[in-house]
Amino acid sequence: MSNATAEHPEHLTEDEKQLVRQPLVLNKRTMGWISDYISSIVEGKTPTWWYVSMAITVPLTLMCLALLGYLISTGVGVWGNNHPIGWAWDITNFVFWIGIGHAGTLISAILFLTRQKWRTSINRAAEAMTLFAVVCAGIYPALHVGRVWMAWFLAPVPNANAIWQNFRSPLLWDVFAVSTYFTVSVLFWYTGLIPDLATLRDRCTTKIRKFIYGVLALGWRGGNRQWRHYEMAYLILAGLSTPLVLSVHSVVSFDFATSVIPGWHTTIFPPYFVAGAIFGGFAMVLTIMIPACAIYKPLHDLVTIDHVDKMCKIILLTGSIVGYAYLMELFIAWYGANPYEKAAFWYRAFGPYWWAYWSMMFCNVVAPQIFWFKYFRTHLIWVWVIVQFPNAGMWFERFVIIATTLARDFTPSAWGMFHPTWVDVCTFIGTFGLFTTLFLLFIRFLPMICMFEVKAVLPEADPHHGEAH
């Protein structure tokens, strides 16, 4: 359908009206408005709510850092990790946070390659979320090794005995996967920021801002001879990030799947981890975008109900894939006729950690099914409340996979329980402080919506706009 008819729906019959797509930007906002409004969030006076939020999140961040200092100075025994549960909250939290990052890359890369133009208004914030989530995730593998000053053993350099890393170990693959993921996400995010940083540079009134944004914008001029290479670079980065994001959580799942522990040794893990990561990640995107848009109300013209609706559908889809994976795991445990595998799943559901298992089942499989109803996908308060279930459920999932499996090993003499210490709990709470602090800093100092991409999806951005087709 041509743009000309889409703009004048009054000429259309009822049937044709059904076919008219919702505009991506509501209220016919202009390019100037987009620049003015998004930049004003960065340029205006710091709002009170920002200081109030920071007053909560910064102490939490400091608490996290202090407890990590305590961990390093005292030893990993300040956590509740024990024998048999050598991987407990540390790896649970690592997988939890790294999974959250995946939605950002999905939005920025996969939806870009599939030409889902609605992604333009949410990709910047989602990518920022990815980075901050990976920062929180990275803390755990780095610090759970015990002697943190030996963490350089992970890097591909020989140790004092000239022994190199074991490149056949999934744990080393993980190091490469997560560090590559972080680096590429930073590159992707920064590349996307360059034209918008140039917008901020060109609007600056004070010398210091002009200097900072000027340097960060790298002298971007917006010439088509620049855009040509820029667009190609962006396309290539999207093409690289797509297999990368699928590989990261697959590699994370290899940490478990390549072991011989019943309950971990399954081939379904890679796709099931990736679907779960996207599921939990979209829940986190909505968790932070809904309040951000509630504070900056005009953003509803850019991040519309239609966006929220689409994200809820993705949550519904991936949640159902996760539910299928849970059921398939149970089926294979029964059908595989391996008594240890059968026992592992029996103990998950009816053993000492039954409450974690059923919380996971309820939060991840049952709760999101309410998104079949449009009402719950389009009312922001409901959406925000419902997405808290996947947020919690995905944490339970990792806890169930890690703790319940280790708690019930092959022989009953090796059975045990995990009890988190106050350090475990407070460090985890602290990572939320770190995540939120970084996100608040991002909202305050960088444009949280990708201005140039939103301008490019306006009808007047089409060089044939208004011409007969």
Partner 1 sequence: MDAVGNTTAPVYGIAAEFQSARDLYHAAEKIREAGFSKWDVFSPFPIHGMDEAMGLKRSILGKVVFFGGLTGFLTAVSLEFGTSSFLYPLIVAGKPTNLYTVPAFFPVMFELTILLSAFTAVFGMLIMNGLPRLNHQLFNWERFKKVTEDKFFVAIESEDPKFSTRSVKDFLESLGGTNITTIHGD
Of residues 190-219, which lie at the interface with partner 1 (CB under 8 A)? 190-191, 195, 198-199, 201-203, 214-215, 218-219
Q: Does 256 bind partner 1 (CB under 8 A)?
A: no
The piece of 16-24, 139-147, 381-389, 460-468 that touches partner 1 (CB under 8 A) is 460-468
Among 188, 272, 282, 442, binds partner 1 (CB under 8 A): 188
Looking only at residues 91 through 130 of this chain, which bind partner 1 when binding is defined by CB under 8 A?
none
- CB burial readout 370-402, b (16+ within 10 A) else e: bbeeeeebeebebbbebbebbbbbbbbbbbbbb
Quick one: 13 or 224, whose CB is closer to partner 1? 224
Q: With the C-alpha atoms ordered 15, 16, 22, 26, is the resulting torsion angle positive or negative?
A: negative
Looking only at residues 261 through 280 of this chain, which bind partner 1 when binding is defined by CB under 8 A?
none
- Which one, of 134, 99, 135, 104, lies nearest residue 122 by Cα? 104
Among 140, 173, 256, 272, binds partner 1 (CB under 8 A): 173
Among 17, 28, 147, 221, binds partner 1 (CB under 8 A): 221
Among 165, 338, 378, 388, binds partner 1 (CB under 8 A): 165
Looking only at residues 308 through 347 of this chain, which bind partner 1 when binding is defined by CB under 8 A?
none
Among 18, 166, 411, 413, binds partner 1 (CB under 8 A): 166
Q: Does 187 bind partner 1 (CB under 8 A)?
A: yes
Would you mind telling me the total number of residues written for the chain in this entry?
469
Give the C-alpha separation, 147 to 410, whole Å. Answer: 29
Among 149, 164, 355, 375, binds partner 1 (CB under 8 A): 164
Among 2, 27, 30, 116, binds partner 1 (CB under 8 A): 30
Q: Which residues contact 175 (CB under 8 A, 6 or more apart)?
A: 141, 154, 155
Q: Does 460 bind partner 1 (CB under 8 A)?
A: yes
Is 242 in contact with 109 (CB distance < 8 Å)?
yes
Quick one: 339 or 463, whose CB is closer to partner 1? 463
For residue 369, the one-letter residue type is Q
Tell me the closest approach of the beta carbon of residue 251 to partner 1, in angstroms: 6
- Which one, of 142, 133, 171, 154, lies nearest residue 252 by Cα? 171
- Which one, of 106, 205, 128, 137, lies nearest residue 443 by Cα? 128
Among 1, 113, 150, 233, binds partner 1 (CB under 8 A): 233
Among 37, 153, 176, 382, binds partner 1 (CB under 8 A): 176
Among 177, 302, 356, 400, binds partner 1 (CB under 8 A): 177
Give the C-alpha separation, 1 to 93, whole Å. Answer: 48
Tell me the closest approach of the beta carbon of residue 7 to partner 1, in angstroms: 15
Q: Does 3 bind partner 1 (CB under 8 A)?
A: no
Is 438 in contact with 132 (CB distance < 8 Å)?
yes
The piece of 53-61, 236-244, 327-335, 356-364 that touches partner 1 (CB under 8 A) is 236-244
Q: Does 31 bind partner 1 (CB under 8 A)?
A: yes
Q: Does 463 bind partner 1 (CB under 8 A)?
A: yes
- CA count, 13 A, side-chain hemisphere, 239: 6
Among 55, 163, 337, 381, binds partner 1 (CB under 8 A): 163
How many residues make contact with partner 1 (CB under 8 A)? 72
Tell me the closest approach of the beta carbon of residue 28 to partner 1, in angstroms: 14
Give the helix ranges, DSSP H, for 351-421: 354-361, 374-378, 380-399, 405-407
- Which one, of 92, 94, 99, lies nearest residue 277 by Cα? 99
Give the C-alpha separation, 91 to 359, whole Å. Answer: 19
